[in-house]
């Protein structure tokens, strides 16, 4: 019994070593005018088409070619609560997306940066008013 408990604890520690809270990543507030052109080109789309399925749309888009990140949800110990994660394919590192401040739902990754609007609803005609949080995925 004691051996099984120790093995479970060691497994939990090892699994959590490759995970990081997104709020613990370096972040910077950037104005719309400072966004990379690639992000500006897609930020006002309603939803993003999943590159692996023509029937699925989401609020996440990886602009890297080839794709380096994907988003998942994982059930917590409470069956009605799910956590969102961003997985980096290169090194299998995952980032828990638990953004505590007010942000929109769209998440765009370019290189090793995650861009999230600091507003729920964004419209192209008001683009000069918007700010975004740029997280460094390290």
Domain ranges of the chain: 20-136
Tokens of 134: 């740029």
Give the per-residue pLDDT at 58.
78
* Whether this model's pTM surpasses 0.85: no
Say which residues have a Cβ less than 8 Å from residue 80's Cβ, sequence separation at least 6.
none
Give the per-residue pLDDT at 22.
85
- Identify how many contiguous H helices and E strands the chain contains and give both numbers: 2, 11
Mean pLDDT of the chain: 82
Q: How far apart are CA 10 and CA 3, in angstroms?
A: 11
pLDDT at residue 65 above 80? Answer: yes
Give the per-residue pLDDT at 7.
47
pLDDT at residue 54 above 80? Answer: no
pLDDT at residue 41 above 70? Answer: yes
């Amino acid at each position: 019994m004691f051996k099984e408990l120790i093995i479970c604890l060691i497994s939990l520690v090892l699994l959590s070593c490759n995970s990081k809270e997104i709020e613990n990543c370096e972040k910077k507030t950037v104005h719309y005018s400072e966004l990379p052109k690639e992000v500006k080109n897609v930020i006002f789309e309603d939803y993003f088409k999943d590159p692996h399925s023509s029937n699925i749309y989401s609020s996440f888009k990886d602009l890297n070619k080839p794709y380096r990140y994907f988003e998942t949800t994982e059930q917590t110990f409470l069956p009605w609560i799910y956590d969102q994660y961003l997985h980096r394919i290169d090194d299998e590192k995952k980032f828990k997306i638990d953004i505590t401040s007010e942000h929109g739902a769209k998440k765009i990754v370019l290189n090793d940066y995650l861009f999230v609007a600091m507003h729920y609803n964004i419209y192209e005609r008001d683009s000069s008013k918007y700010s975004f949080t740029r997280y460094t995925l390290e």
